[in-house]
Amino acid sequence: MREATTKQTVTFIVFIIVVFICFSIKAPLGIMIFSLGMLIALLYGLTDARRIRKKGELVSGYIVDYMYDRDGDATPIIEFETTSKEKISGSPYINSNFHFSSSLKKKEKPLIEVRVVYDKNNPSDFILPDYQTTNNLAFGIIGLFALGMLALSIYDIVTGRLSNN
């Protein structure tokens, strides 16, 4: 998992504090702010992935291992070499886990060749272009959920029909 920068950590903490303050004022307001934050993060991720895909370098890499979470979902560990011969090992910048499910046996460690597109300025930021369809599906589901929450919260703030706050 990628380490958050200090700026990202501070932004996240401030965001959570603002959401809790908004929830204490009125629950639909907190939901609205939270939904907007989800949409902003989603757009940031999509924009960054698109930038990497369009301006990055395409090389071959290998899935050398998997990192499993508590639910058994697998995130691939990829190794590849940049065009300047720097060896990189890590997980993709964006990964929806749809292709790397718990059905994979934890003891198997196959060397599966994959195409990798990495950011020339920060090679540890890379994507797997062959898996972008499932990543886009995951982004779409999250986006629809966030838009639905946003619409319901705005409806409740305007009409007051969904809550008694």
CA separation, residue 133 to residues 93, 98, 99, 130 (Å): 15, 10, 11, 8
The model carries a pTM of 0.73
The pair of three-digit structure tokens given for residue 34, joined into one six-digit string:
């939270």
Q: Rounded to whole angstroms, how far apart are CA atoms 53 and 127?
A: 7
Residues forming a β-bridge with 2: none
Domain positions in the chain are 6-159
Note the pLDDT tens digit of each residue in 14-64.
999 999 999 999 999 999 999 999 999 889 888 888 899 899 999 999 988
Q: Is the pLDDT of residue 74 over 50?
A: yes
**Proportion of the chain above pLDDT 90, given as a percent:** 46
pLDDT at position 5 = 76
Query: Mapping DSSP to helix (H, G, I), strand (E, B) and coil, where does residue 95 land?
Result: coil
Point out the least confidently predicted range of 25-34, 71-80, 90-99, 148-157: 90-99
Q: Is the pLDDT of residue 105 over 60?
A: no
Q: Crossing angle of helices 6-25/27-55, nearest 10°? A: 150
CA 89 and chain centroid, separation: 18
pLDDT at position 70 = 81
Q: Is the pLDDT of residue 1 over 80?
A: no
Residues forming a β-bridge with 112: 63
Q: Is the pLDDT of residue 95 over 80?
A: no
Query: Mapping DSSP to helix (H, G, I), strand (E, B) and coil, where does residue 88 land?
Result: strand
